[in-house]
Amino acid sequence: MNDGAGHAIHNLNRDKYIDSMNDRTRQRCALPALTGIAALVFLTGIGWGLPSRAVDPYLFGTVPPWTGAEIFRLAGDRPSDPQRGADVALHPIEDRAHAVLLNRTDRQRAEIVRRYRLYSYQPDEMLTLMSLAGMNPRAGDLDPRLYYYGGLFIYPFGATLKFASMIGLVDLRSNLVYYLDHPEAFGRFYIVNRFIVAMWGIVGAWVVYALMKRLTHGLVFPMLAGIGYVLLPVVVNMSHEGKPHLPGTVLMLLTVLMADTYVRTARRRWAIFAGAMAGASTGMVVYALLVFPLLPVMTLMVRHSARKRMRLSALAVAMGIIIYFVTNPYVAINLITNRAVLRSNFGNATSVYHVGGRLGGMANAIQLMIEGASPGVVAVGLTAAAWALIRWRRAAPSSLALLLAIPAGLQLIQFMALASGKRGDYGRFAIFFDIVLLMAAVTGLAKLNRGRAIASVILLVTSIGFSGGRYLIGFIRDCQPVTSRLIAAERIRNEINSGARSIHIGAEPAPYSLPPVDLFQCQLMLMPPETRVALRGRQGDLIIPAADDMDWQGEISARRRVEAMVPYRSFPPPAISWADRSFSVFLAGKDERDSDGN
């Protein structure tokens, strides 16, 4: 009997050991698999919408394309002004009450051509390069003059460009004329920036996996949540743009992870780490400041004296402030020596964000959240969050759920308050909330019985894949030799060849806002923003709203007899993305109101 009992205990211990080995093996395989999926999604289409000489036949028409030297001679360089933000226009159009002719002179034409030779299809990607171009390391001037994009984003990008040039991946020169002649070489800078963002996106997949391990335990749900994160439309979009929003969001998630570790262990170092991550996230992109209220809250979740809580809160916040100013030293320096440049940069950024239009703003915010997170995530995530609130007294949510809810709730309030009148790409500002909503959805479904839970989460992730896949397809399409802009440019050229001589546009010409059009054969008229519907163009003139201005497109098509020419696609273009944009080209005709005598 003793031998039989010994054999039974031996077999039981062996089975436990085998099970633990299998579990460790599965966990070792999970992260590499998740990393591979994330890399495949984030790096596919990374070369979308880059500058090239393919625009020359459309910009110059029958005129021989200008060389880089000719463009530089006519347009000049962008002089560095220590009191002007890197994102502030050098020669802004002051009078927008009347239509403005944009291509009257060769200088104006050269300025437009320069944009098409150097800018990508994303309107903000050039800002980081303009910031780096304005620095003078030899003179000790490393002021980025761009502060809502943090130094933790700008300086590592500059260092990576330098390293990439040393190993021959990019051609880094101080000669702008060379890049005007070789825009493809300049386009590689965008790829480097997007690669850095994609790497941060992969780290984000790891962090989501780690957070979900604490919310659901096991392996299946964290893995599915990680895949869902990778496929979220807003994440797919931001991982393909050289902007700091995704890296800043990943650091916000890391702040939550560090704060929850502090709550679980009550060890001071984790509180300090949480503060450091909060400072780093704000040092990456300034809107991540929303994560700082998390720091004092985490100390309330641990049994300490009030004095110790205050001390730890102050220590964590101080660490965050130190990290922010270490990565953004010129914010502190300019607060003392040059406040004008801070006002210039932050004023330019905040001029387009204001609270207003509550009902319309809320409706727009909800629509963009559905677009960024996918309909399934919004429906299931909000239902799970509401159910958790209803059952609050019976089963209090975990500390991690509360820690995630604080910055997510603050971001939601900010997002809704500023959403009035915003275009599709405003959806990027809800990225943290969208990710938390995904985690809430998976956590809620995981509470079902195991078979139903796994099937439900797989179905949810599949629906996310359909939504995110639209964005990925858009990036792939704009990697092709004939992009969405060139498709529209060909149709516009056909109309110009048929006799159109004026093009009424809603935004200054740039590759993100207008397909390349003939600058020598046609007049480009920038229309006033308030009177654009009442424009009186000759019959046969073209009307091209900005790509993201759906309101004007709707107004024109409703109130004028026009012919709309939109590039063919099998489904609507993604709202948040600048890739594969649809350009509506209207052929001016008689105003409908004229036929009624009004």
DSSP 8-state assignment for residue 101: E
The answer to whether residue 375 sits within a structural domain is no
CA distances, 427 to each of 166, 299, 364, 415, 462 (Å):
37, 32, 9, 9, 22
Amino acid at 77: D
Which tens digits make up the pLDDT trace of 383-398?
998 888 887 766 666 8
Is the predicted pLDDT of residue 585 greater than 90, yes or no?
A: no
Mean pLDDT score, 446-465: 93
pLDDT digits (tens, 9 = 90+) for 223-253: 999 999 999 999 999 999 999 999 999 999 9
Q: Is 285 helix (H, G, I), strand (E, B) or coil?
A: strand
- Can you tell me the mean pLDDT for 45-72? 95
CA 432 to CA 404: how far, in whole Å?
Answer: 9
Question: In sequence order, which residues have a C-beta less than 8 Å from that of residue 348 and are 6 or more positions away?
Answer: 85, 87, 88
pLDDT at 97: 72
Q: Is residue 204 in a domain?
A: no
In this prediction, residue 132 has a pLDDT band, given cuts at 50, 70 and 90, of: very high
**How many independent structural domains does the chain possess?**
1
Express each pLDDT in 79-104 by its tens digit: 666 777 777 776 777 677 778 899 99
The SS3 call for residue 584 is coil
| Most distant pair of Cα atoms in the chain: their distance | 107
| Residue 580 domain flag | yes
Three-class HEC string of 304-352 = CCHHHHHHHHHHHHHHHHHHHHHHCHHHHHHHHHCHHHHHHHHHHHHCC
Q: 519-543 pLDDT, tens per residue?
A: 999 899 888 876 554 455 566 688 8
Residue with more model confidence, 499 or 24: 499
Say if CB 416 and CB 357 are below 8 A apart.
no
> How many alpha carbons lie under 13 Å from residue 187 in its C-beta half-sphere?
18
CA 511 to chain centre: 18
Going from the C-alpha of 169 to that of each of 165, 175, 241, 262, the distances in angstroms are 6, 18, 19, 42
- Cβ(34)–Cβ(205) below 8 Å: yes
pTM of the model: 0.91
Q: How far apart are CA 52 and CA 190, in angstroms?
A: 13
| Rounded Cα gap, residues 158 and 164, in angstroms | 10
Q: Which of 239, 194, 253 is nearest to 435 (CA)?
A: 253
- Asked if residue 65 belongs to a domain, the reply is yes
- What pLDDT does 589 receive? 61
Query: CB–CB of 288/408 below 8 Å?
Result: no
The predicted pLDDT at position 155 comes to 96
Query: Distances from the Cα of 172 to the Cαs of 46, 122, 456, in angstroms?
Result: 20, 21, 50
Nearest to 559 by CA among 597, 596, 592, 594: 592
Q: Domain limits at 63?
A: 44-81+89-121+479-598
Give percent of the chain above pLDDT 90. 61
Give the residue from 590, 589, 544 showing the smallest Cα distance to 567.
544
Q: Which of 145-159, 401-415, 545-559, 583-597 has the lowest mean pLDDT?
A: 583-597
Q: Which helix (H) or strand (E) holds 100?
A: strand 100-101
- Residue-wise burial string across 379-409, b where 16 or more C-beta atoms lie within 10 A, e elsewhere: bbbbebbeebeeeeeeeebebbbbbbbbbbe
Query: Would you give the DSSP letter of residue 429?
Result: G
pLDDT of residue 28: 77
The pLDDT, as a whole number, for residue 594 is 42
Number of other residues whose CB lies within 10 A of the CB of residue 329: 14
Q: Is residue 32 part of a domain?
A: no
pLDDT digits (tens, 9 = 90+) for 147-168: 989 999 999 999 999 999 999 9
* Domain-located, residue 329: no
Asked whether residue 564 is assigned to any structural domain, the reply reads: yes
